[in-house]
């Protein structure tokens, strides 16, 4: 089933197209900031096809609104996307993104969905999937910064449903709201002793000219009905905050903090294994499009 979701965008090129994947923003909330740009972009005319691709070195770009990689983890992102105008106000979309490090493994993601745009209002829904092809923990790139997804170095795959909407005040500013629900699968034998985690996320963003910012709240908990003496009733919450300034020379400056507020900790406890890493990580990052 995972492989089917991953290859679906490529099989549906004549029917669906994309704009939800990315290759430019830096922060852990890069997906939400990129979705602001997507919802602001002029939709392709009915019956027309728009193909885009990008690649670059970025600190935290993901194609999925609920996933967050440590902003210090580095890596290279390559993405391809399609948009197809179904009707005057409706665009279908699909995309594939691959994130790699000097050492394997990599994260491969896909997303399919549709966007409705009517003047000042835009609404998009999508289904996304991410997975690590190699069944080994994600690499540690720099000391103290584990390249885990949502603080989980034993990340294996995830599937989620996303919804986002934007209301434009004028041609230069607007408000973005988003929500996501999904399930994260962990590698066998992980220290938490769990196989799956349910995750929910909400976001609120504002953009004005070249400046955009967002706040994202996430919550994770074990899949209901799976007994575990330590984690059955556990819940991990976190809030990310980020601001991006798009510069006139095709560059961008991002700053903020991952896990600005969080519950839980990443140390061994007397009664069980480590929890997801939710340490606060401030960042300032610059990206240049070539």
Predicted confidence band at 26 (pLDDT cuts at 50, 70, 90)?
Answer: very low
pLDDT value of position 256: 92
- Compute how many other C-beta atoms are within 10 angstroms of the C-beta atom of residue 206: 16
Q: 239-260 pLDDT, tens per residue? A: 999 999 999 988 889 899 988 9
37 backbone dihedrals φ, ψ, rounded to 5°: -60, -40
Average pLDDT estimate for 187-206: 88
Least confidently predicted of 179-183, 222-226, 283-287: 222-226
* CATH label, 2-288, candidates 3.30.1490, 1.10.1060, 2.40.160, 1.20.120: 2.40.160
136 backbone dihedrals φ, ψ, rounded to 5°: -135, 150
Give CA separation, 49 vs 84, 94, 110, 136, in Å: 5, 12, 19, 38
Average pLDDT estimate for 212-238: 80
Q: What is the pTM of this model?
A: 0.76
Cα torsion angle, 29, 76, 128, 38, sign: positive
Which helix H or strand E contains 206, and what residues bound it? strand 196-208
Place of tokens 């004005």: 208
* Residue, of 60 and 134, whose pLDDT is higher: 134
């Amino acid at each position: 089933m995972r492989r089917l979701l991953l290859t679906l965008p490529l099989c549906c090129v004549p029917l669906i197209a994309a704009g939800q994947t990315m290759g430019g923003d830096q922060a852990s909330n890069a997906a939400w900031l990129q979705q602001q740009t997507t919802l602001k972009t002029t939709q392709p005319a009915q019956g027309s096809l728009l193909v885009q691709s990008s690649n670059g070195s970025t600190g935290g770009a993901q194609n999925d609104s609920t996933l967050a990689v440590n902003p210090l983890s580095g890596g290279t992102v390559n993405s391809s996307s399609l948009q197809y105008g179904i009707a005057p106000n409706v665009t279908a979309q699909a995309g594939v993104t691959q994130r790699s490090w000097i050492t394997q493994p990599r994260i491969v993601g896909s997303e399919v969905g549709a966007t409705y745009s009517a003047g000042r209002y835009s609404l998009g829904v999508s289904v996304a999937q991410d997975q690590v092809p190699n069944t080994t923990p994600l690499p540690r790139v720099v000391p103290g910064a584990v390249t885990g997804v949502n603080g989980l170095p034993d990340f294996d795959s995830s599937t989620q449903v996303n919804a986002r909407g934007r209301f434009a005040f004028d041609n230069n500013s607007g408000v973005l709201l988003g929500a996501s629900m999904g399930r994260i699968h962990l590698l066998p034998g992980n220290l938490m002793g769990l196989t799956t985690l349910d995750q929910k996320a909400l976001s609120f963003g504002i953009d004005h000219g070249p400046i955009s910012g967002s706040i994202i709240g996430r919550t994770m908990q074990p899949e209901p009905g799976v007994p575990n003496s330590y984690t059955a009733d556990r819940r991990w919450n976190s809030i990310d905050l980020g601001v991006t300034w798009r510069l006139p020379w095709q560059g961008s400056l991002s700053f903020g903090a991952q896990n600005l507020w969080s519950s839980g900790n990443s140390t061994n406890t007397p009664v069980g294994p480590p929890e997801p890493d939710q340490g606060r990580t401030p960042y300032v990052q610059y990206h240049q499009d070539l």
